[in-house]
Amino acid sequence: MIRAAKGGPFGWAVDRYIGWKVRSTFRGLWVRGALPADGVGRLVYLNHSNWWDGFVLHQLCQAANWDGYCLMDEDNLRRYPFHTKMGAFSIRKQDAMSSLSSLRYAKELLRKPRAAVCVFPEGEHRPFGVHPLKLERGVELLARAAKAECVPIAIRYAFFEHERPDVLLEVGDVHEAGPLERFQSGLEAVVRRVSEATSLEGFTQRVSGAKGVAERWDRARGLGP
């Protein structure tokens, strides 16, 4: 397996690049719900509908002051090795011994202060809002092995009245390890709630982004913030 390799000058550069990329593309990253902030390790599981998900997750972990890590398919991680600097580590799902090594490594990470091991249990990109979700059992096995608290989070990319899209993150209730159905119901609940949002009401901006042309024009005329 390929381990995470955070830190160092290259890691610093990757962190800065990702932050710039997200802020220059989106109006902002908005969170609704309580992000756990204590020192215990946690397993964060999310829907996976977009190429941007990994970058958004990186920014979320920084905003939440989490030491973030993420499971990634080994072939993709070999293709894009800079993701190790973001905290990515590999898994080969078709290889039982490799999968076991990855789960053991994730369990070790979850013992670290502020650690957040993030997984996309759908295993692949799927269109946002499609129900029912189809989750793989790895998230259940990892949660049981690590005895970690589990946090469902839904990601949605939304256009409202502005030129640029906003990233909405819906945080669900923290829960203990349990059967796969518990993870499915937790993730489907936050996906459903965030899909019903028609504005940013109730969300808190955690990462500011770029303004569109109309917003910059309004600011120049003294009509906007």
pLDDT of residue 15: 95
**Collapsed DSSP state (helix, strand, coil) of residue 142:** helix
Cis peptide, bond prior to residue 225, ω within 30 of zero: no
The structural domains of the chain, ordered by start, are 8-220 (3.40.1130.10)
pLDDT tens string 10-34: 999 999 999 999 999 999 999 999 9
Kindly state the DSSP code that residue 121 receives in the 8-state scheme: T
pLDDT of residue 220: 62
40 has pLDDT over 60: yes
Mean pLDDT, residues 46-56 taken together:
95
pLDDT of residue 223: 64
Which pTM does this prediction carry?
0.91
219 has pLDDT over 70: no
pLDDT tens string 107-128: 999 998 899 999 999 988 888 8
Check the CA dihedral 126-130-134-139 and report its sign: positive
25/166 Cα distance (integer angstroms):
9
Q: Which two tokens stand for residue 99?
A: 């999968």
225 has pLDDT over 70: no
**Collapsed DSSP state (helix, strand, coil) of residue 134:** coil
163 has pLDDT over 60: yes
Mean pLDDT, residues 188-205 taken together:
96
pLDDT tens string 59-86: 999 999 999 999 999 999 999 999 999 9
139/122 Cα distance (integer angstroms):
10
118/171 Cα distance (integer angstroms):
13
pLDDT of residue 212: 59
